Structure 1
Amino acid sequence: MTDESKPEISQVERSHIGHPHKHHTIQELAQNEDEPQTPYQLGWRTILCVMTLSMGNVCAALANTTNTTIKFQVSTVARSPADAALASWIANGNFLVVLAAGPIFGSLGDRLGKKWFLVCGALLGVVGSCISGSAHKITDIIAGNILTGIANAGCITSISCIQEILPNKLRPWGMGVSQAMASAFVVLGTFLAAAFVRDNTGGAGGWRWAYYFNGIIYGLTALSIAVTYFPPRPLLGRHHVLKDIVLNVDYIGILTMSGAFASLIIGLTWGGSTYAWNSPQVIATLTAGCVGLLLFGFYEAFVVKEGIFDHRLFQTMNFPILLFVCTIDGMLLLGVNVLYSQQIFDLFSQNAVRIAVILSPYLITSTFGCIPAGWVMASTRSYRIMLVVALFWCSLFTGLMGLVNSQRLPWAYAFSTLFGIGTAVTTVIPVVALGLSIPSFLIGTAATISISCRALGGIIGITIFTAIYNNKYASLVGPELAGNSRAPVVVDASEKSWRYVWIAIACLVAANGIVACFLKGVSPMMNHHVESALEDGKVREAQLS
């Protein structure tokens, strides 16, 4: 073969010749990002796609609003204490599937393209929402939520799509807009879910319409993305055939990781409620989970190079640090969304609309803070100080939430408003920083892993915080009264139990702030590179050819 007939070495191959495992600085990483000779001009196609792709993020976030009505769902369809014990799986079933399927879709999306994972995922969300909404058993609600979890694993690829279609330097803006849209729909969905519950007639379960509303949004999202989003083929897919791409997915690692986490979550959910902590069932599941995680770690480190944790993602230490940050952030964001509404139910009101009103200061401040957070990062090309301050800010005010009792509703409004400001920063900044800390051609894999870590944090957070509450509550009122879902809540015992939950949250978020201090800046990566050009021009022509 002559030199003229040899295929051109791709950017991927060129950037790793000789040093496949070498750690790089952000400056070295930025040198491998191709920049157009003339600035890439954004147009209506990109702006429209930012909005429609943001609807994928909306779907994944909106699915969590049905969790604010879990107590109403249980009271409608639970027929025994065993049914009530399954309640935590209404939320955990969704999160666990996102955790398992997200990395699969992210890895395949980086090679095959992400559009149809988004569209098909949103369509599956319609099916899952309808199953949960029409359910008459707890297990049917969980089954529908599992399908919705698969749908959300596809929908969250929109987070990487939004970053790909924008120049690197504008990614914080794009993610700020996307997260603001998602948070705004969460506020809307929370109030609608509450209104549906309030207007329930004849015991039919008004919460069902919260699922049906989500199904409508999933359907509109699938249609809008299908007709507006036409990206070039991904860089990793331009030099490989479909069979090679599908076979190279790390299915063994995915199954090992998912099985290990499932065992851990089951053990934590059973412990202290269904079974005693020293029971064989709890010990066996927790042990299996820990052994599974150990095997997964060895497998990813020494057996495969392009597994779930592709070794090229670890060129800088920002990636593992930000995964830890995202995991603890999931405990804060998803755990608080589920548990705070339950605390309001216990201490202040069982009226669904009033619960939504009490939640709204936290939801609104976390919504309107997303765009300013993105603007600050884009303008200053810096993020570490802002992120660390936000985490300690959240730690302070979640800790102060432990002082809230049934007579201190204004305190709940004030403290939740203030830590909502901090969560706006922690929602946007880690995802953008992570995307700027790895090679852009792996952004789909990296983004879905980070969202999976958030889902993992949510699962662990909900499970651990619920266990803390249940165990403390049972020690105060006795196991018989605590295990009776029909018994009225003992307010004084509930206040003391929630205090321990908020203290645990505050300590974890403070630890997250300490870890975030070790992050490195990403300003060299905030350049003019565009990974997936939508506007007509030389950049798109080169990516299409």
Structure 2
Amino acid sequence: MAATVKEASSTHLEDSSHEQSEALTSNSSDAADYSVGVKTVLAITALALANCNATLSNTTNTIIRYQVMAVGGASVASWIANGNFLLTLACAPIFGSLADRFGKKWFIVGGCAVGMAGSFVSSSATSPYTLIGGNILVGVGNAGCIVSIAANQEIMPNRLRPYAFGFAQTLNSIAAILGTFLAAVFAQNSMWQWSYRFNGICFAVAGLAVLLAYQPPPTAIRRSTALHEIIRGIDYIGILLLAGSLACLVIALTWGGSTYTWHSSMIIGLLVGGCVGLVAFGLYEWKAKSPLLDHRLFANNNFPILCFVCLVDGMMLLGINVLYSQEIPDLFQADAVRIAVILSPYLVTSTVGCLPAGWIMGKTKSYRVLLIAALLWCALFTGLMALVTSERLKWALAFSALFGIGTAVTTVIPIPSFLFGTAGTLSITARALGGLTGITIFTAIYENKYAAHLPKYVGYVLAQAGESQITPGVMKALSSHAPPAIALGAVPGLPSDLIGPILGAVKAANAASWKWVWVAIACIILANAITCCFLKSVKPAMTSHVESALEKSTTRDSQMMPKVKSMA
């Protein structure tokens, strides 16, 4: 949508031949007589189920502490989640680019198969390394599954894409709610393995559904280019540069502050290597003849701006999902199911809002104004979350429900491009990288503030009681891995009637620390809203053109016929 194929016909795919450019340009003509039918609806539903797998697989990260309690490995626990993220980040852009060339179906079905295998490997784990290995397989599977987002968009006429995306994201949000509650119930009943087994079953069902319901014609590139030319034109150098750079950044963000200090040579080297690699990738892509980042994606500012939107959206969505679920036990309840209940207002409103957001975008053929309004709305209510304390649970429920409405809009923005696989997976990569970056930044903010606030709040309670001399012992107990109430009960000389006030001071220190996390989130979202003011209108591109026709029609007939004289 940001750049039609016709506008970009001056940029060539492989060998700059005029014939290939014309073949791609011809696909931009409207299919005014094309209508969406049962085949498309079934395919959209199957593809939406495949997309849900990536969300479901991440809900197991909410119960990592239960997994570690069962199999050990607290020192490597972060890799249970980040092994998944790393492979998804590294593989998604590669799969997306290749899917644009060879077709999306088998990347999705193969992703479901690999994800199913990884889920059952993790479910059988008796060591943390088996969990990590299983999650690495799931990460590869997720990278294949998220190609379904691109497939979802290209089987719909441009003007109907927001409706399809709103429907898909609604199912995705429902999966997030279902997965979160099921994971909590399984963990609470010492059956955390069933969270992985459930995900494995869902991978299998989605893969079978896509196999049966999604029967697309050859891709536009495959229809107009011989196979040996496609293989020769793959950007192998760009793939290695991007995958290596993202791997360096993810490893640095995972190890920094835990395995290694942030100023260690290992972390600095990884961060510098990742950043230099991304710069080198950008420079190489700028000059490459057949780049992974097709130059037509940057015909105007919309695609890079939306990638930035996705980056910040990832910081917001994944940051909130992970960190808010940590704030809840700090301030309110540590029970797994109760945590899920407190999270549910945010999850429910972000789910319910997807369909109306898609409907509004489809009707208005625009998303700039709605997106800016949603981001300003999110900035307001995430900022108000800074006022939440342990006595203000109702405030937390209300504010989280309200900013959930805004996040529904940010998750249903269709990526404006004819290269749906490349554009879609790059947007997902931006979201995932934003999530990892956000979690790292927000965790650092919280830990720095907590380290300053806890001694002050606890010291005040002990000073008021005339017990300042036992402050070191109390602080040592609170820094242990034991539950605070139990750890405090073992502190020599601590009166039992002070345990309650000290626990209250711990909650107050937590509230004061989480406050700055929410302030940071609100500021980043506000900056995102300002950036979106520079988006250009997409109304001219909201046509009846369908990139990959599933219904019986002259459009599908023309897309089923190769336009090259010889196919390797």
Fold shared by both chains (TM-score > 0.5)? yes
Judged with a 3 Å threshold, the aligned counterparts in structure 2 of structure 1 residues 416 and 449 are, in CA distance, closer, same or farther, namely same
Tell me, yes or no, if structure 1 residue 347 matches structure 2 residue 347: no
User: Residue 218 of structure 1 aligns with which residue?
Assistant: 203
Alignment correspondent of 2:277: 292
Tell me if 1:256 matches 2:241.
Answer: yes
Q: Paired residue for 2:521, among 505, 521, 524?
A: 505
Q: How does 1:87-486 map to 2 (within 5 A)?
A: 87-200=77-190, 206-302=191-287, 304-429=288-413, 432=414, 434-435=415-416, 438=417, 440=418, 442-477=419-454, 484-486=480-482
Report the Cα distance in structure 2 between the residues aligned to 1:242 and 1:445, rounded to whole angstroms: 19
Instruction: Determine the structure 2 residue equivalent to 1:33.
Output: 28
Report the CA distance shift for 1:18/1:491 in structure 2 as closer, same or farther (over 3 A): closer
What amino acid is the match of 2:356? Answer: P
TM-score (norm 1): 0.88
Is residue 88–residue 463 contact of structure 1 (8 Å, CA) maintained in 2? no
Q: Does 1:543 align with 2:556?
A: no
2:513 counterpart of 1:518: no
User: Could you report, residue by residue, the CA deviation over 1:318-364 in whole angstroms, capped at 9, with x for unpaired residues?
Assistant: 01111111111011111211111111122211211111110110000
Specify the code of the residue in structure 1 equivalent to 2:424: A
Partners of 2:11 and 2:296 within 8 A in 1: no
**Percent of aligned pairs with the same amino acid:** 54
Q: What amino acid sits opposite 2:237 in the alignment?
A: I
CA shift for structure 1 position 487: 5.2
Q: Does residue 16 in structure 1 map to residue 1 in structure 2?
A: no
Per-residue CA deviation, residues 87-123 of structure 1 (Å, 9 max, x unaligned), is 3332222222111111111111111111111111001
Partner of 1:26: none
2:51 to 46, 52, 57: 57
Q: Give the aligned residue type for 1:443.
A: F
Secondary structure of the corresponding residue to residue 238 of structure 1: helix
| 1:484/1:84 CA distance change after superposition, 3 Å | farther
Q: CA deviation at 1:230?
A: 0.6
Cα distance in structure 1, aligned partners of 2:62 and 2:74: 16
Unaligned runs of 5+ in 1: 1-10, 22-28, 201-205
Q: Which amino acid aligns with 1:211?
A: Y
Q: Are 1:265 and 1:463, in contact at CA under 8 Å, matched by a contact in 2?
A: no
Write the distance in 2 (CA, Å) between the matches of 1:491 and 1:86.
28
Aligned length: 510
Write the deviation string for residues 484-523 of structure 1: whole angstroms up to 9, x where unpaired: 4445384333222222221221111111111111101101
Q: Secondary structure, in 3 states, of the residue corresponding to 2:545?
A: coil
Deviation at 1:269, TM superposition (A): 3.5
Cα shift at 1:148: 0.9
Q: Distance in 2 between matches of 1:170 and 1:12?
A: 18
CA contact (8 A) 2:60 2:196 kept: yes
Distance 1:299 1:482 in 2: 51
Q: Which moved more, 1:407-416 or 1:338-347?
A: 338-347
Structure 2 stretches of 5 or more lacking a match?
Answer: 17-23, 456-474, 485-502, 562-568
In the alignment, does 2:85 pair up with 1:69? no
Distance of 1:30 and 1:492 partners within structure 2: 62
Contact 1:169–1:528 (CA under 8 A) maintained in structure 2: yes
User: Residue deviations 1:418-473, cap 9 Å, x none?
Assistant: 010000000002xx1x23xx3x2x11111111111111111111222222223333
Give the conservation status (yes or no) of the 8 Å contact 1:108–1:245: no
CA distance in 2, matches of 1:175, 1:244: 33
Question: Counterpart of 1:166 in 2: which secondary structure?
Answer: coil
Mean Cα deviation higher: 442-451 or 264-273: 264-273
User: How far apart, in 1, do the equivalents of 2:70 and 2:12 lie?
Assistant: 60
CA distance in 1, matches of 2:108, 2:250: 28
CA contact (8 A) 2:86 2:247 kept: yes
1:15–1:32: 8 Å Cα contact kept in structure 2? no
CA RMSD across the alignment = 2.4
Contact residue 250 and residue 306 of structure 1 kept, 8 A: yes
Q: Find the aligned partners of 1:398 and 1:493 in 2 and give their Cα distance.
A: 19
TM value normalised by structure 2: 0.85
- Separation in structure 2 between the aligned mates of residue 308 and residue 400 of structure 1, nearest angstrom: 41
| SS at 2:447 equivalent | helix
Label 1:290 to 1:361 Cα distance change in 2 as closer, same or farther (>3 A).
same
* CA separation of 1:282 and 1:190: change in aligned 2, threshold 3 A: same
Deviations 1:392-418 (A, max 9, x none): 111111111122122211111001100
Relative to structure 1, the CA distance from residue 289 to residue 87 in structure 2 (aligned partners, 3 Å threshold; closer, same or farther) is: same
CA contact (8 A) 1:194 1:356 kept: yes
